Structure 1
Protein backbone atom coordinates (compact mmCIF):
# COMPACT_ATOMS: atom_id res chain seq x y z
CA UNK A 1 0.00 0.00 0.00
CA UNK A 2 1.32 3.43 -0.93
CA UNK A 3 1.41 5.77 2.05
CA UNK A 4 0.64 9.45 1.90
CA UNK A 5 3.55 11.80 2.43
CA UNK A 6 2.83 14.44 5.09
CA UNK A 7 4.83 17.25 6.63
CA UNK A 8 4.81 15.37 9.94
CA UNK A 9 6.28 12.24 8.32
CA UNK A 10 8.92 14.31 6.57
CA UNK A 11 9.80 16.09 9.83
CA UNK A 12 10.15 12.83 11.80
CA UNK A 13 12.34 11.26 9.12
CA UNK A 14 14.45 14.41 8.86
CA UNK A 15 15.07 14.49 12.62
CA UNK A 16 16.08 10.81 12.70
CA UNK A 17 18.26 11.04 9.61
CA UNK A 18 20.09 14.13 10.86
CA UNK A 19 20.54 12.72 14.37
CA UNK A 20 22.45 9.66 13.15
CA UNK A 21 21.57 7.91 16.43
CA UNK A 22 18.56 6.31 18.06
CA UNK A 23 16.04 8.72 19.56
CA UNK A 24 13.00 8.42 21.79
CA UNK A 25 9.61 9.79 20.75
CA UNK A 26 9.88 12.74 23.13
CA UNK A 27 13.36 13.64 21.84
CA UNK A 28 12.07 13.50 18.25
CA UNK A 29 9.11 15.69 19.17
CA UNK A 30 11.43 18.32 20.73
CA UNK A 31 13.55 18.46 17.57
CA UNK A 32 10.67 18.70 15.07
CA UNK A 33 9.98 22.01 13.37
CA UNK A 34 6.27 21.20 12.83
CA UNK A 35 3.52 20.55 15.36
CA UNK A 36 2.47 16.93 15.77
CA UNK A 37 1.02 15.25 18.82
CA UNK A 38 2.49 12.22 20.57
CA UNK A 39 0.05 9.73 19.03
CA UNK A 40 0.78 10.98 15.52
CA UNK A 41 4.52 10.67 16.04
CA UNK A 42 4.19 7.11 17.41
CA UNK A 43 1.92 6.16 14.50
CA UNK A 44 4.50 7.53 12.02
CA UNK A 45 7.36 5.73 13.79
CA UNK A 46 5.50 2.41 13.86
CA UNK A 47 4.67 2.70 10.14
CA UNK A 48 8.31 3.50 9.41
CA UNK A 49 9.21 0.29 11.30
CA UNK A 50 6.65 -1.71 9.28
CA UNK A 51 8.06 -0.27 6.05
CA UNK A 52 11.67 -0.99 7.05
CA UNK A 53 12.69 2.68 7.11
CA UNK A 54 13.66 2.68 10.78
CA UNK A 55 13.98 0.08 13.48
CA UNK A 56 12.89 0.06 17.08
CA UNK A 57 15.17 -0.53 20.03
CA UNK A 58 13.80 -1.24 23.49
CA UNK A 59 16.59 -0.21 25.85
CA UNK A 60 17.38 -1.40 29.35
CA UNK A 61 15.36 1.53 30.75
CA UNK A 62 12.23 0.12 29.03
CA UNK A 63 12.01 3.13 26.73
CA UNK A 64 11.54 2.74 22.98
CA UNK A 65 14.10 4.33 20.69
CA UNK A 66 13.96 4.58 16.91
CA UNK A 67 16.83 4.78 14.46
CA UNK A 68 17.63 5.04 10.81
CA UNK A 69 20.46 2.57 10.79
CA UNK A 70 23.23 4.67 9.28
CA UNK A 71 26.08 2.33 10.26
CA UNK A 72 24.37 -0.68 8.73
CA UNK A 73 24.98 0.10 5.07
CA UNK A 74 26.04 -3.44 4.21
CA UNK A 75 22.87 -5.46 4.90
CA UNK A 76 24.66 -8.63 3.79
CA UNK A 77 26.92 -8.34 6.84
CA UNK A 78 24.53 -6.97 9.45
CA UNK A 79 21.05 -8.53 9.78
CA UNK A 80 17.95 -6.62 10.85
CA UNK A 81 18.19 -8.24 14.28
CA UNK A 82 21.50 -6.81 15.39
CA UNK A 83 22.99 -5.52 18.62
CA UNK A 84 22.90 -1.96 19.85
CA UNK A 85 25.07 -0.12 22.34
CA UNK A 86 24.06 2.43 24.99
CA UNK A 87 26.82 4.63 26.34
CA UNK A 88 26.48 5.35 30.06
CA UNK A 89 28.53 8.51 29.61
CA UNK A 90 26.87 10.33 26.67
CA UNK A 91 23.60 8.29 26.73
CA UNK A 92 23.81 7.67 22.97
CA UNK A 93 22.21 4.50 21.64
CA UNK A 94 23.65 3.30 18.36
CA UNK A 95 23.77 0.27 16.10
CA UNK A 96 26.97 -1.69 16.52
CA UNK A 97 28.73 -1.66 13.15
CA UNK A 98 29.71 -5.35 13.29
CA UNK A 99 28.12 -8.65 14.19
CA UNK A 100 28.23 -9.71 17.82
CA UNK A 101 28.37 -13.48 18.14
CA UNK A 102 26.42 -15.30 20.82
CA UNK A 103 25.26 -18.83 21.49
CA UNK A 104 22.19 -20.36 23.07
CA UNK A 105 21.80 -23.78 24.68
CA UNK A 106 21.07 -26.79 22.49
CA UNK A 107 17.41 -27.03 21.54
CA UNK A 108 16.78 -23.27 21.50
CA UNK A 109 16.22 -21.43 18.21
CA UNK A 110 16.42 -17.64 18.14
CA UNK A 111 13.73 -16.02 15.98
CA UNK A 112 14.56 -12.43 16.80
CA UNK A 113 16.48 -10.50 19.37
CA UNK A 114 16.47 -7.20 21.17
CA UNK A 115 19.85 -6.68 22.69
CA UNK A 116 21.43 -3.50 24.01
CA UNK A 117 24.95 -3.71 25.33
CA UNK A 118 25.74 -1.09 27.96
CA UNK A 119 29.07 0.56 28.66
CA UNK A 120 31.25 3.38 27.37
CA UNK A 121 31.28 4.08 23.61
CA UNK A 122 34.40 4.54 21.50
CA UNK A 123 33.91 8.33 21.43
CA UNK A 124 33.82 8.56 25.25
CA UNK A 125 36.51 6.01 26.11
Structure 2
Protein backbone atom coordinates (compact mmCIF):
# COMPACT_ATOMS: atom_id res chain seq x y z
CA UNK A 1 0.00 0.00 0.00
CA UNK A 2 2.79 2.46 0.91
CA UNK A 3 4.54 1.95 -2.43
CA UNK A 4 1.27 2.67 -4.27
CA UNK A 5 0.78 5.84 -2.24
CA UNK A 6 4.40 6.94 -2.88
CA UNK A 7 3.89 6.43 -6.62
CA UNK A 8 0.59 8.34 -6.56
CA UNK A 9 2.15 11.23 -4.64
CA UNK A 10 5.06 11.38 -7.11
CA UNK A 11 2.60 11.44 -10.01
CA UNK A 12 0.89 14.48 -8.47
CA UNK A 13 4.11 16.21 -7.41
CA UNK A 14 3.44 15.74 -3.69
CA UNK A 15 6.33 15.00 -1.35
CA UNK A 16 5.83 11.75 0.56
CA UNK A 17 5.55 12.02 4.35
CA UNK A 18 4.18 9.47 6.81
CA UNK A 19 1.55 12.00 7.94
CA UNK A 20 0.25 12.50 4.39
CA UNK A 21 0.34 8.77 3.75
CA UNK A 22 -1.64 8.16 6.94
CA UNK A 23 -4.43 10.54 5.88
CA UNK A 24 -4.51 8.99 2.43
CA UNK A 25 -4.60 5.43 3.81
CA UNK A 26 -7.61 6.25 5.98
CA UNK A 27 -9.46 7.82 3.04
CA UNK A 28 -8.57 4.87 0.78
CA UNK A 29 -10.07 2.40 3.26
CA UNK A 30 -13.20 4.49 3.86
CA UNK A 31 -16.50 3.55 2.25
CA UNK A 32 -18.11 6.91 2.99
CA UNK A 33 -17.07 10.55 3.41
CA UNK A 34 -15.27 11.26 6.68
CA UNK A 35 -14.89 14.34 8.89
CA UNK A 36 -11.61 15.54 10.38
CA UNK A 37 -12.49 13.91 13.71
CA UNK A 38 -13.29 10.55 12.07
CA UNK A 39 -10.07 10.58 10.04
CA UNK A 40 -7.92 11.63 13.02
CA UNK A 41 -9.40 8.78 15.09
CA UNK A 42 -8.22 6.20 12.53
CA UNK A 43 -4.79 7.67 11.79
CA UNK A 44 -1.68 6.03 13.20
CA UNK A 45 0.24 9.34 13.21
CA UNK A 46 -0.26 12.32 15.53
CA UNK A 47 -1.04 15.52 13.65
CA UNK A 48 -2.46 18.90 14.65
CA UNK A 49 -5.57 20.28 12.96
CA UNK A 50 -3.72 22.96 10.94
CA UNK A 51 -1.33 20.39 9.46
CA UNK A 52 -4.24 18.10 8.61
CA UNK A 53 -6.08 20.85 6.73
CA UNK A 54 -2.91 21.97 4.89
CA UNK A 55 -2.41 18.40 3.66
CA UNK A 56 -6.06 17.99 2.71
CA UNK A 57 -5.90 21.27 0.75
CA UNK A 58 -2.85 19.94 -1.10
CA UNK A 59 -4.69 16.72 -1.97
CA UNK A 60 -7.73 18.71 -3.07
CA UNK A 61 -5.65 21.02 -5.28
CA UNK A 62 -4.10 17.93 -6.90
CA UNK A 63 -7.60 16.56 -7.59
CA UNK A 64 -7.08 13.55 -5.33
CA UNK A 65 -9.63 14.46 -2.64
CA UNK A 66 -12.83 16.45 -2.62
CA UNK A 67 -14.79 17.92 0.24
CA UNK A 68 -18.24 19.19 1.06
CA UNK A 69 -19.90 20.79 4.05
CA UNK A 70 -22.69 18.95 5.81
CA UNK A 71 -25.60 20.47 7.68
CA UNK A 72 -23.80 19.65 10.95
CA UNK A 73 -21.34 22.42 9.92
CA UNK A 74 -18.48 19.96 9.44
CA UNK A 75 -16.38 19.38 6.36
CA UNK A 76 -16.34 15.83 4.98
CA UNK A 77 -13.62 14.39 2.76
CA UNK A 78 -13.31 11.48 0.36
CA UNK A 79 -11.12 10.35 -2.50
CA UNK A 80 -12.02 11.77 -5.90
CA UNK A 81 -13.04 8.55 -7.60
CA UNK A 82 -16.16 9.62 -9.46
CA UNK A 83 -18.63 12.48 -9.22
CA UNK A 84 -21.67 11.50 -7.21
CA UNK A 85 -24.29 13.02 -4.93
CA UNK A 86 -24.48 12.88 -1.16
CA UNK A 87 -27.76 12.51 0.73
CA UNK A 88 -27.61 13.95 4.24
CA UNK A 89 -30.29 13.14 6.81
CA UNK A 90 -31.38 16.30 8.58
CA UNK A 91 -32.13 14.37 11.77
CA UNK A 92 -29.28 11.88 12.33
CA UNK A 93 -26.77 13.55 9.93
CA UNK A 94 -25.93 10.20 8.30
CA UNK A 95 -24.35 10.67 4.86
CA UNK A 96 -25.11 8.31 1.99
CA UNK A 97 -23.37 8.33 -1.39
CA UNK A 98 -25.70 8.24 -4.41
CA UNK A 99 -24.98 7.69 -8.08
CA UNK A 100 -26.51 10.34 -10.37
CA UNK A 101 -26.66 10.78 -14.13
CA UNK A 102 -24.70 13.91 -15.03
CA UNK A 103 -25.05 13.38 -18.78
CA UNK A 104 -26.83 16.68 -19.49
CA UNK A 105 -24.71 18.85 -17.23
CA UNK A 106 -22.41 21.27 -19.02
CA UNK A 107 -19.27 22.12 -17.10
CA UNK A 108 -17.51 20.54 -14.14
CA UNK A 109 -19.66 19.42 -11.21
CA UNK A 110 -17.72 19.39 -7.95
CA UNK A 111 -20.41 18.70 -5.37
CA UNK A 112 -24.05 17.59 -5.19
CA UNK A 113 -25.68 17.55 -1.76
CA UNK A 114 -29.27 16.45 -1.20
CA UNK A 115 -30.91 16.87 2.19
CA UNK A 116 -33.94 15.19 3.67
CA UNK A 117 -34.94 12.54 6.18
CA UNK A 118 -33.55 8.99 5.87
CA UNK A 119 -35.78 5.90 6.12
CA UNK A 120 -34.46 5.13 9.61
CA UNK A 121 -35.54 8.54 10.94
CA UNK A 122 -38.91 8.43 9.17
CA UNK A 123 -39.98 5.45 11.28
Q: Taking structure 1 as the reference length, what is the TM-score of the superposition?
A: 0.68
Q: Larger % of helix: which?
A: 2
Residue number among 10, 15, 18 corresponding to 2:29 in the alignment: 18
Counterpart CA distance in 2 for 1:36 and 1:68 is 20
**SS state at 1:52 partner:** coil
Q: Which runs of 5+ in 1 are unaligned?
A: 73-79, 102-108
Q: TM-score, normalised by structure 2?
A: 0.69
What is the 5 A alignment of 1:32-47?
32-47=43-58
Query: Which residue pairs with 2:17 in the alignment?
Result: 6
> What residue number does 2:118 align with?
120
3-state SS in 2 of match to 1:84? strand
Higher strand share: 2
Instruction: Classify 1:63/1:91 alpha carbon distance in 2 versus 1 (closer, same or farther; 3 Å).
Output: same
Specify every segment of 5 or more residues in structure 2 that has no aligned partner in the other structure, as ranges: 1-11
Higher alpha-carbon deviation: 18-27 or 60-69: 60-69
- Tell whether 2:65 aligns with 1:63: no
- Calculate the aligned-residue CA RMSD, in Å: 3.3
Question: How many angstroms does 1:98 deviate by?
Answer: 1.9
Farther off after superposition, 86-95 or 13-22: 86-95
